[in-house]
Amino acid sequence: MSLLLLKLWAFVQRDFLSEVSYRLAFLMQVGGMFFSLLAFYFLARMIDPGSAGLDGIPPFDWLLVGLAFQYYFSTALYSFSARIRNEQVIGTLEAMLVSPTPTSIVIFSSAAWDFTYGAMRVVLYMLFATLFFDVRLDPGSAIALALGVALTLLSSAGLGILSASFILYFKRGDPINFLLSGATTFLGSVFFPVEQLPEWVRPASDYMPIFWSLRIVRGALLKGQALGELQGDLVRLGLLTVVLLPLGLVCSRYAIRRAKKDGSLIAY
């Protein structure tokens, strides 16, 4: 276990050093976060606080959680495949795969920095929001919030690893990202509640991990809901995680074996 943590830390260090070597870009990203919050603040002023699906949460606060976690969820979805593809293109994948570290750990760890950075962004969004936009965060149940975030991480990692499996095998053309990138924003209650959609579309949201994640985070962070009140949402998100994570791992194992057989593991 400690060996795995050391490897994860090595990936985080490597990517952090690369990121900060582009100093201006790093600072501009942080600045960009503030300005996107500002834009959403004024956008939220146009929304009727009594709109269906907001559950009494002020529109800006509701949007803030969607914005912060949508980035986190897309990071999980894209970063595994993007990192693997990048390593293939820059030529470092072969050097990693010839090491005694199992391929599955290389894939899993490759997104460690993106997850860390994603978490830092969530914290930074919340910090900006409380400092400059008068948002009041009231974590009713820290346990529910922690469980919700952990399950969000694992379920989205499952989808991300599934997506990376396609990249390992097909190199380009990843149907997981294609299908989910639009669907999560549309059906996940990210920027508007699903209650605003036609009734026949809404059941599809039940199969979106981000939909349950956002319900849990908004409930725990903005409505002060307790663990018991969020139990149902946590179970649903847990079920999706139980399906998606093993599915991602099994598919990646299959993709690695096929790519080794075809000799295309490091091709791009």
Partner 1 sequence: MGHAIEAVGLVKTFVKTRSLREILLHPFGRAERIPALRGADLAVREGEIVSLLGPNGAGKTTLLKILSCLVLPDAGRAIVGGDDTIHENRVKRRIGLVHSDERSFYWRLSARENLRFFARLYNVPYRKTEARLQELLERVDLAAAADRPFSGYSSGMKQRVAIARALLHDPPILLMDEPTRSLDPVTAIALRDFVTERLCRDGGKTVLLATHDLREAEAVSDRVAILVSGRVRQIGTVAEVRRWGVRDRVYRIEVEGWTGALGGPFRVVGDGTEDGLRRIVVAVEPGTSLHDVLAAIVATGARLRACDEQQPDLEQAFSRIVGAESDDA
Q: Which residues bind partner 1 (CB under 8 A)?
A: 3, 6-7, 9-11, 13-14, 17-18, 21, 90-92, 94-102, 106, 257, 260-263, 265-266
Residue 126: partners with Cβ closer than 8 Å, 6 or more residues away: 64, 68, 135, 137
Distance, in Å, from the CA atom of 211 to the CA atom of 151, rounded to the nearest integer, reads 12
Residue 190: partners with Cβ closer than 8 Å, 6 or more residues away: 66, 67, 69, 70, 184, 210, 214
Distance, in Å, from the CA atom of 35 to the CA atom of 45, rounded to the nearest integer, reads 16
**Least CB distance to partner 1 at residue 22 (A):** 8
**Least CB distance to partner 1 at residue 83 (A):** 13
**Least CB distance to partner 1 at residue 141 (A):** 37
Q: Phi/psi of residue 265, each to 5°? A: -60, -40
Toward partner 1, which CB reaches closer, 24 or 90?
90
Toward partner 1, which CB reaches closer, 65 or 107?
107
Toward partner 1, which CB reaches closer, 45 or 261?
261
**Least CB distance to partner 1 at residue 160 (A):** 21
Toward partner 1, which CB reaches closer, 8 or 57?
8
Cα 45 to chain centroid distance, Å, stands at: 27
Total count of residues recorded for the chain: 268
Distance, in Å, from the CA atom of 144 to the CA atom of 132, rounded to the nearest integer, reads 27
Toward partner 1, which CB reaches closer, 6 or 131?
6
**Least CB distance to partner 1 at residue 102 (A):** 7
Query: Nearest to residue 117, comparing CAs of 146, 79, 155, 86?
Result: 79
Residue 191 burial class via C-beta count within 10 angstroms: exposed 0-12, middle 13-18, buried 19 and up: middle
Toward partner 1, which CB reaches closer, 115 or 212?
115
**Least CB distance to partner 1 at residue 116 (A):** 16
